[in-house]
Amino acid sequence: MGKKAGWRKKGTLMDFENLLTHLPHASWRVVSPGRVNLLGEHVDYNQGLVLPAAIDRFVELAAAPRTDRLVVLKALDMGAEVRFSLDDLVSRTDTAGQPLPGWALYPAGVAWALRNAGFEPEGVEAVYASDLPIGAGLSSSAAVEVAFAVLWQAVGGWDMQRMHLAHICQMAENRYVGVNCGLMDQFTCAHGVARHALYFDTRTFEWQPLPLPPDTVLVIADSGVRRQLADSAYNLRRADCEQAVRRLREHLPDIQSLRDVSLQDIARYGDNLPQETRMRARHVVEEIERVRQASLYLARDDARGFGELMVAGHTSLRDLFEVSTPELDGLVEAALGLEGCYGARLTGAGFGGCTINLVDKTKADKFSSRLRREYNSRFGRQAVTYVCTPARGAYVDKI
């Protein structure tokens, strides 16, 4: 692929030709998608079933090798630059001894996790930009992690399965960045299939692409409300789920996670749990069942049935898991009143971010403009909408 080859420009993402003006001697080009979750929220860390899709909004990266042990990063969207040594990753500091900025922890964490997994990353210089909104729940962090993982894999010529790569990226976020996420985000960014959602079993790591209903698109609506996962109630919700398992083991000694708990078990033993813990557990158990049902609807190209499950999932996230916000609820309510919308729900961890809508392809533009108007009328805020289709997973080209 020649250096003059650009790529489809979306949103505010710079095309690759512009990236090369900042690094004209680049040797590699990496494209890594974001992800949206259609169903199965807050169940990946409970060993459940999820239904995400990679989307056609990306982190794009140009990189060149270095002969020393330094990593030099330039994040064009932030107008920021940092350099750190591969021989001093544990300190989480740059070459001047200053703490790494938050955005640089993700590539540094990938390098650290690769070394812990027995791989030796090499020094690189990288310039990157993205049209993924940061903090919106579209896995901009996982897209960055996977981008650098596939880059270092290409530079090192390592034979590594994509699932192993996803696990390494998850380790980076869990143990280096400090966010106790499950595997879904990194899995999706690495394994995306164009025009398909990914039915993923987070316990067995088995997965299957499932086509979206024909003549539909995904419309993402960004509420503009931001949250920081490491500082939010995300880790508290995970702790609630772990407490539920400990308490339920008194009656169900063989369970490993909420994945092993049935709807009947919750009905029978749920009253033995503290109220909030019971609510969290019920959401997870019911949400896993919704994913199972959704796979059947997708197999039948049943957009309406699938959309009803999305709405039920949002109601559960709002009332049982309590991770919604008035803005997210308002977006969902408004969407469901618009022509062409089959279903809507919040996506991601919640506490802000985006909603995901399954929409008739022919009505997507009108739907998007009306949704923005209604949101502004209700909240006095500007929502940003993205009409998306499922995309392929991260890939790297030698230039």
Q: List the catalytic residues.
A: 185
Amino acid at position 359, single letter: V
Q: Identify the H or E element spanning 216.
A: strand 216-222
CA torsion through residues 61, 392, 53, 109, sign: negative
Name the helix (H) or strand (E) containing 109. Answer: helix 105-116
Helices (H), 300-363: 303-319, 326-336
CA–CA distances in Å: residue 240 to residues 45, 151, 363: 12, 37, 41
**R_g of the chain computed on alpha carbons:** 21
226 C-beta neighbours (distance < 10 Å), count: 14
Which residue's entry shows tokens 């409970």?
46
- Sign of the CA dihedral with 21 first, then 26, 29, and 33 last: negative
